[in-house]
Chains A and B, each alone.
Chain A
Amino acid sequence: MEEKILDILKRNLNSVDIDTSCSWDNCATWDSLHHLSICFDLEEEFNISIEPEEMGCIKCYNDILKLIKSK
Chain B
Amino acid sequence: MTYVFRNNTIEPFFDESYVFSGYGDISAIPNAELYIWWYQLPYKYDFNQIVRELISYKEMLQYVSNKIHNELIVFSLVNQFTCSIETGNVGLINAIDEFNKVARDLSNLSNVKFIDFSEFTTLYGNQSLVDWKYYYTAQYPYSPKLIRPFKLWWKKKMCQISMSRKKCLVLDLDNTLWGGILGEDGVTNIKMSGDYPGKAFHYWQEGIKELQRNGVILAICSKNNISDVEEVWNKRDDILLHRDDFATIRINWKDKATNIREIASELNIGLDSMVFVDDNPVERELIRTTLPMVAVPDYPEHPYNLPLLYDKLVNDYFSVYKLTLDDVNKTYQYISNAQRIEESSKYDTFEDYLSSLNMHLKILPVSEITIPRAAQMTQKTNQFNLCTRRYTENDLRLLLDSNANMWTLSVSDRFGDNGVTGLIIVTNDGRIDTFLMSCRVLGRGLEYAFATYVLQQLKALGVDRVIGEYIPTAKNILVKNFWTQMHFRCVEEREDGSAKYYIDLSNETLQIKDYYSIN
Contact = CB atoms under 8 A, between A and B. Distances in A.
A32 interface: yes
B133 A36 contact: no
Contact of B133 (A14, A37, A44, A52): A52
Contacts of A51: 133
B270 interface: no
Interface string B370-409: 0000000000000000000000000000000000000000
Interface string B2-46: 000000010110001000000000000000000000000000000
B144 A52 contact: no
A40 interface: yes
B111 to A, nearest CB: 30
Contact of B137 (A36, A37, A44, A49): A36
B364 interface: no
B138 interface: yes
A55 interface: yes
B134 interface: yes
A16 interface: no
Contacts of A37: 12, 144, 147
- The 6 closest A-B CB pairs, nearest first, are A40-B144, A36-B138, A52-B137, A33-B11, A37-B12, A55-B137
A25 B415 CA distance: 71
B134 A40 contact: yes
Interface in A4-46: 14, 32-33, 36-37, 40, 44
Determine which residue in B11, B136, B144 has the highest number of CB atoms from chain A within 10 A of its CB, and name it: B144
Nearest to A49: B133
B382 to A, nearest CB: 32
A36 B12 contact: yes
A52 B136 contact: yes
A33 B12 contact: yes
For chain B, which range describes its interface: under 10, 10 to 19, 20 to 34, or 35 or more residues? 10 to 19
Interface residues of A, number: 11
Given A40-B134, A52-B137, 11 more contacts: A32-B138, A33-B11, A33-B12, A33-B138, A36-B134, A36-B137, A36-B138, A36-B140, A36-B144, A44-B145, A51-B133
A61 B133 CA distance: 23
20 contacts: A14-B16, A32-B138, A33-B9, A33-B11, A33-B12, A33-B138, A36-B12, A36-B137, A36-B138, A36-B144, A37-B12, A37-B144, A37-B147, A40-B144, A40-B147, A44-B145, A49-B133, A52-B133, A52-B136, A52-B137
Contacts of A52: 133, 136-137
B404 to A, nearest CB: 40
A11 to B, nearest CB: 12
Nearest to B9: A33
Main secondary structure of the interface of A (DSSP, over half): helix
A32 B136 CA distance: 14
B4 to A, nearest CB: 14
A59 B296 CA distance: 47
Determine which residue in A14, A33, A44 has the highest number of CB atoms from chain B within 10 A of its CB, and name it: A33
B355 to A, nearest CB: 62
Contacts of A36: 12, 134, 137-138, 140, 144
A51 to B, nearest CB: 8
A6 B58 CA distance: 45
A52 B132 CA distance: 11
Contacts of B144: 36-37, 40
Nearest to A33: B11
A37 B14 CA distance: 13
Nearest to B137: A52
Contacts of A44: 145
A14 B17 CA distance: 13
A44 B137 CA distance: 17
A49 B136 CA distance: 15
Nearest to A36: B138
Interface string B127-168: 000000110111010001101000000000000000000000
Interface string A42-65: 001000010110010000000000
A50 to B, nearest CB: 9
Contacts of B16: 14
Contacts of A40: 134, 144, 147
A66 to B, nearest CB: 20
A51 B132 CA distance: 12
Nearest to A41: B144
A52 B131 CA distance: 12
A21 B291 CA distance: 48
A17 B428 CA distance: 50
Nearest to A44: B145
B515 to A, nearest CB: 60
A40 to B, nearest CB: 4
Nearest to A55: B137
Determine which residue in B136, B138, B140 has the highest number of CB atoms from chain A within 10 A of its CB, and name it: B138
Interface in B58-110: none
